[in-house]
Structure 1
Amino acid sequence: MAISDDRPSDPRRPGEPEAVFIVGVSRSGTTLMQRTLDSHSRLAVAMENHYLGHLVAREGARHYFRRVGDLRDDANVRQLVDLVWSGEFQRRSRLREISPYWRWLMRTVSRDDFEARLLASDRSDRGVFTAIMRTYADVKGKPLIGEKTPAHLGYVETLLDWYPDARVIHMLRDPRAIYVSELRRRTERAVTVPYRQLVRVPFLFRAFLLNQVALTWAEAVGRHRTLVHRYPDRYRLVRFEDLVRDPRSTLEGLLDFLGLEWEEEILAQKVVSKGSRRGERGFDAGAAERWEDRIGGPARRWLGSLLGGRLREVGYSE
């Protein structure tokens, strides 16, 4: 698809964010929030790209891109685009699957268009990242940019240094629900290290997942403590349970935080769970507690004992 040279003529209005970033532990509702905000008429929130990094910093796309050389050289920009379109830098990782944004880019945008955007940027890490988000926004025909990469929770300081007028939304979910969701996901699709090895030994597989969820969730609560004090006007925590149980109130407050006007359309999301309501319109309130019937007693007690204080800190019961 060739992108028209006609950018949206409506500029950023007073009070609107420079960019919007959605972060959080995987399986915390970041995709639901991305789809919800992406339906707003003024905001385009791209799917995850892992540009800054993954759980391991070197897995970030920017680190692969730097290997092509100084982007002030046009030839290196073209080599970067060749790298993206070849899919090579995505296949190199054994720790994660291909990030959805790059599939979307190659399917939707012409190589020449993307190359022209990079050539026209200032070619810094920030400039390339902005071009990535702006490409998506221009395809959508919207003036405001954003993206959702859960692992960017570890890079919020960089995001807000690059975009001082941006807003960050941190999605949080009950860690016991995350464990149940991750267990199903990794069992059905164990394609990355170490899951494809561990899935052959169910006891070790479950033990690894339990401790991984506990660690990453505890770190997320720690990040929340830091970020809410450091960036009180630019950072907002949203619990998944609040979003699905009371979407109108939760989203009204969130849009006010973002400086965006209310639009009824954002409530008309398709249910994405695997339950009987899959594909229906609206939010699936039952997703908030469905995990309770699917988690075993030992796993529930283990997570409760490890995370009890942190659970209470952010409004969950043990």
Structure 2
Amino acid sequence: METKILESKNMSQTIFIARFITGMSRGGTTWLGKCLNEHPDTAVFGESLFWGRAYIQPQEDGTYSQKQVDNILSRLIQHGCEAFLGKGNGNLKNITPNNLKNLIPTAFGNTEFVPTPVSVFKKICQTICEAESKKITIEKTPHHVNWIDRIIRAMPNSRFVIMIREPYGFMLSYKHQGDRWQEPERTKFKRLYHPLICSLLWRGYIRAATYATHSYAQNTLVVRTEDMKSDSEAVLNEVQKFFLLNPVSKLASKIPPDNSSFLIAERPSLKSEDIFWMNLVASKEISQFGFEKQSSMIEPLRILCSILQLPIWTIRNFIHLNNETSGSVFQYLMRWFR
């Protein structure tokens, strides 16, 4: 696909506020996005991973080469916008997997602009707005909470809703997120799960949320999954006001409760080693945020088995992340562990 490398005056002069739904995966980000997709002015898309795992570092002068632009758009077409494609309430109405393949290349092929991370991201948002006949886009990638520094440096007026969830509900949902899929997807998710790493992941999310709210208080709004469940209308009103949406619409009744991990009737329980690792790794953060700490019988043999599984888990996940990450897998993982 060929992009004309000139800058459009209209594009450079447009006031642009980037809006993001971030925070914990399995924390209600998809349901929140679907609700906001029912607002008359907003189109929610994701997960583009644009500023995080799929980020492509520009050249020394801050611009992208033609090859880099092509790589970004190819990935977006193949993997991006997956969360809200399709028909029905909460989904993008006019963009489908089929027409996305033509929509993005056509939009960029007819555009004159200097390709930088900001201008490319803006153009993606603009294209989705025009296709959906909406005024505002909201991007939803949970792990963008780890890259708020990068986004703020590029777009200082950006706004972030950060979802957080109590640790054991997060772990249960994360562990069983593949249960609704058919084989071999279900097996793949099970093979990628480990209670120690899941605990580190939750702790990484909660620390990133804490850092973001302390560093960028005016740009961030923290929403707890539990509050969204207990009073969804009030939370949705607060989110709409934070995102500067006008009018504030009644959205909660338009989208049924979303459970993308398992059927309610078949809700499983955490194992003793799951609770052990979460309490060991994240006890401090659990207390700091006022979450109730669960207790469980310590079973040494099950804990030992989970330790012995770590080398196998490491190899599987390194291969998986290497296929999904544009930059260094090591740097991506260190972002979590820091």
Whole-angstrom distance in 2 between the partners of 1:150 and 1:30: 7
Verify: 1:247 aligned to 2:232, yes or no. Answer: yes
Partner letter of residue 312 of structure 1? Answer: S
Cα distance, 1:187 vs. partner? Answer: 5.8
SS of the aligned residue for 2:212 comes to helix
Verify: 1:34 aligned to 2:33, yes or no. Answer: yes
Cα distance, 1:126 vs. partner? Answer: 1.3
Picking from 269, 281, 286, the partner of 1:294 is 269
Corresponding residue for residue 219 of structure 2: 234
Give the conservation status (yes or no) of the 8 Å contact 2:23–2:209: no
* Number of equivalent positions: 264
Partner letter of residue 264 of structure 1? Answer: K
SS of the aligned residue for 2:162 comes to strand
Corresponding residue for residue 122 of structure 1: 114
Corresponding residue for residue 62 of structure 1: 56
Whole-angstrom distance in 2 between the partners of 1:62 and 1:102: 23
Partner letter of residue 302 of structure 1? Answer: W
SS of the aligned residue for 1:169 comes to strand
Verify: 1:108 aligned to 2:108, yes or no. Answer: no
Cα distance, 1:38 vs. partner? Answer: 1.9
Percent of pairs with identical residues: 18
Instruction: Give TM-score scaled by structure 2 length.
Output: 0.65
Give the conservation status (yes or no) of the 8 Å contact 1:20–1:146: yes
> Can you give the 5+ residue segments of structure 1 that lack an aligned partner in the other structure?
1-11, 55-59, 91-97, 200-204, 279-285
Corresponding residue for residue 163 of structure 2: 171
Whole-angstrom distance in 1 between the partners of 2:205 and 2:122: 26
Corresponding residue for residue 290 of structure 2: 315
Partner letter of residue 56 of structure 2? Answer: R
Whole-angstrom distance in 2 between the partners of 1:127 and 1:311: 40
Verify: 1:269 aligned to 2:269, yes or no. Answer: no
Picking from 130, 139, 149, the partner of 2:131 is 139
Give the conservation status (yes or no) of the 8 Å contact 1:24–1:172: yes
Instruction: Give TM-score scaled by structure 1 length.
Output: 0.69
Cα distance, 1:303 vs. partner? Answer: 1.5
Deviations 1:86-107 (A, max 9, x none): 84xx6xxxxxxx7617976652
Corresponding residue for residue 94 of structure 1: none
Corresponding residue for residue 180 of structure 1: 172
Cα distance, 1:235 vs. partner? Answer: 0.7
Give the conservation status (yes or no) of the 8 Å contact 2:203–2:285: yes
Give the conservation status (yes or no) of the 8 Å contact 1:169–1:235: yes
Whole-angstrom distance in 2 between the partners of 1:260 and 1:209: 40
Corresponding residue for residue 213 of structure 1: 198
Corresponding residue for residue 207 of structure 2: 222
Cα distance, 1:49 vs. partner? Answer: 1.0
Q: How large is the RMSD of aligned CA atoms in angstroms?
A: 3.7
